[in-house]
Chains A and B, each alone.
Chain A
Amino acid sequence: MNDTVLKVADVHKSFGGLHALRDVNLDIEQSKTHAIIGPNGAGKSTLLNVCVGRIEPDNGSVTFDGETLTGKKPHEINQVGVARVFQTPEIFPELTLMQNVMIPALAKRDGSFKFNAFRILQGENDIRDEAEHILEDLDLIDQRDSEAGSLSRGDKRRLELAMCLVQHPRLLLLDEPTAGMSRHDTNRTIDLLKRIKERGMTKVIIEHDMHVVFSLADRITVLAQGTVIAEGTPDEVRGNPQVQEAYLGGAHI
């Protein structure tokens, strides 16, 4: 029952005098959607940064499926099967949507380095098919030849999600995937994330929107000031008075 796929053990990180993470422990189970919530500055993004190799923790370790991620470079972590959506979308603004999605598909196929300067991109039918498929899935196909930089904020987010999904990662880390989206787009994203859940992808999702959290999460961890203050099923967390105190200033969720 309890098959942990991502294990965060005693991770500590401080920036100068500020303790962004204090001995955080976290177990993420296979194929589950695990939400991390908490007030601004709680250390949520920092925790994801530690997972993908953007930040080296002062102490502690992150293991994924038995493999230690701490100390690995970002591209190595991605090649292990961990993809990430950033809080501010990281896309290729000057390139078309198709190119934006083909690049991660190439990373999946070619690995971290391959010198294929004499193949013709036009002829890469498998890559193009995959890219088109995912753009259709995310309702972006009509804009396939537009520059990604010209998209709305919400569409940029969805594009970044498409760029991650095209790689069929084993673990998907999402940092506020619906921020800046209309209610309509938010609901579509929720539907999409539910669909990929059926495919067995493990997800960690940081979210402020409680509608999204309670629609998707199997488990919830609450961070405040770098410390895990509660963890459990949505119902357990909803009823936890400490959470309501810390996170919502006493209001009911």
Chain B
Amino acid sequence: MAEKKKGRLTKVLDYLKHDDPFSKGVAFCPGCGLELLLRFIPRVLGNDIVITGTPSCSAPVLLGQNNQSWHTLSYFGTLMTGAAANATGLVRYYRKAGIDNTVVCFNGDGTANDIGFGNLSGAAERNEPFIYICYDNEGYMNTGIQKSGTTPFGATTTTTPYGTVSRGKNLRRMNLGLKMAMNKIPYTATATLSDLDDLARKLLKAKEAKERGFCFLHVFAPCPTGWGADPADTIEICRQAVKTNYFPLWEAENGRIRMTKTVKKPKPVNTYTKLMKKFNHMTEADHVILQDDVDYEYCLLGGLSVLEAECQLPVSVKDQGETS
């Protein structure tokens, strides 16, 4: 038999130091980005994290049924409205009782950017020592694909349908990651599933930084069912989101923004949008609007990272310290 050409095992595997605490058969749709992310987190951070979850696509798996569970993590199944406050209560008690902990407050964009934003903001202000992870599938998927604050311009959802007087969402998406970084919390980062080593590194960094306070990870996680995409394309969608600057990868320590991946020649946004049906109806003019938005946000991000470097960090923020 001919000698087989061997590559090197991807280094992402080195980050997966812990067991997958989830049952093998759980009811996420085929190709669901959320499933990949959810299994990935405890494999990197360890199985002794406490995870909180809210009504969303993640809930049927995170939360048990009667006495039974889908995974072996400690979890707190809670309300969309108060997720970050729940995590706050946990970490404050653990601190008082001297119990080591890594609390991961895991929520969809519906909770993080919309209905639960008030308490997310409060937790950031108080610099509560836990990791908030928002998986962004750009809508309320569990209730049947409705628009959220992170649904992009043009996208169709069941509440922003395409019709004679409407061409999908007629509003910009909000930049959740940037909103959080502006609070000067110890660690903010964006991540996605095509760049798993980047994601793993950011998770580990957050675990370290949460000793100094609040950490926020904004993870772009495609929903093939809701977006009208081929389940096989989930990773490719993430990749193109990065390559078009639609979802740039960056991190911010104490609010200081740094790109973790720079795209030399960004592709036009339609190389991304063509991968799914939710943008199908968009005209060239619509694409110009979306492209404009993407360019603006990216430009702003670059500008901020330069400005941040020029500005002297206030002592109050410096006192938070930095990750080694």
Asked if chains A and B come from one complex, the reply is no
Query: Which A residues form the contact surface with B (CB < 8 A)?
Result: none
